[in-house]
Amino acid sequence: MKLSFVIPAWNEEKYIARTLDSVIRQVKKSGRDIEIIVVNNASRDRTGEIARQYPDVIVVDEPRKGLPQARQAGFLAASGDLIANMDADSILPEGWIEKTYEHFSNDPKLASLSGPYQYYEYSAPQNFIVSLYYVPAFMAHSIGRRLFGKGGIIQGGNFVLKRSALERVGGFNTDIKFYGEDTDIARRIQAAGKVKFDFSFKMTTSARRLQKDGFWKTAWRYSINHFWILLFKKPFTQSYTCVGNDDVK
């Protein structure tokens, strides 16, 4: 199986090099057939220029600003059997690639694999407290799926989709602006296979959004949109705050 990393990036010149360095380092260690795609999503800083300095990185320019638009553009440009989605301010942990191959090799019916975030600005106790957010979401996913067929949990920025499953459900929903886009694909891709959330499948990322909007406000927005998508198939919140290079407008 070939793995394609898709990394949407809007004004991420401060973070993109560190992210790519971490991915390239783990790719070389793995020895696997892997491609890396950066989707330069209407950036007005040096994001695209920096990404193009890496000879092993494919840069796709997507002028329509929006996370689902960027994910879809990356998916269409990818050639892998597995589509790995991560953020432009994340650091790929040791062993993440091997866990991906292990899960999909052991379960042919698996359509989606995801796991939680851990934040590099936070201490271990702080990360533990944040991790408790995932417990009720996972329980609701498990109960809803078994009783009502309406479960679905994917952590945006830390998930892998089987290409054939994503093609079957028509790709990402570009009508969604931001909130709920991950829950939407989790809900729909269940028609093509299993949706798995593994608490040990962690992605290291930045806490910028939590720090900018506040933990409780952020948790509320993600939670209400998660359940709104599951119940009504559309997000509760249309507006969102962009988190990128604040020096560029």
pLDDT per residue over 109-162, tens digit each? 999 999 999 999 988 888 888 788 787 777 766 666 665 566 678 999 999 999
Least confident of 24-28, 92-96, 167-171, 178-182: 178-182
Phi, psi (degrees; rounded to nearest 5) at 196: -120, 135
Closest CA to 244 of 5, 53, 40, 24: 40
User: How many degrees, rounded to 5, is the angle at CA 37 between CA 96 and CA 99?
Assistant: 15
Give the pTM: 0.90
* Dihedral of the alpha carbons of 38, 172, 238, 178, in degrees to the nearest 10: -30
Mean pLDDT of 76-100: 98
For 209, the enclosing helix (H) or strand (E) is helix 208-213
Domain 3-232 has CATH 3.40.50.80: no
Dihedral sign from CA coordinates of 67, 69, 73, 78: positive
Structural domain boundaries in the chain: 3-232
pLDDT tens digits along 187-242: 999 999 999 999 999 999 999 988 887 877 887 788 888 778 888 888 787 777 76
- Euclidean distance between CA atoms 118 and 121, whole angstroms: 9
Bridge partners, residue 117, by sequence = 203
CB atoms within 10 A of CB 32: 15
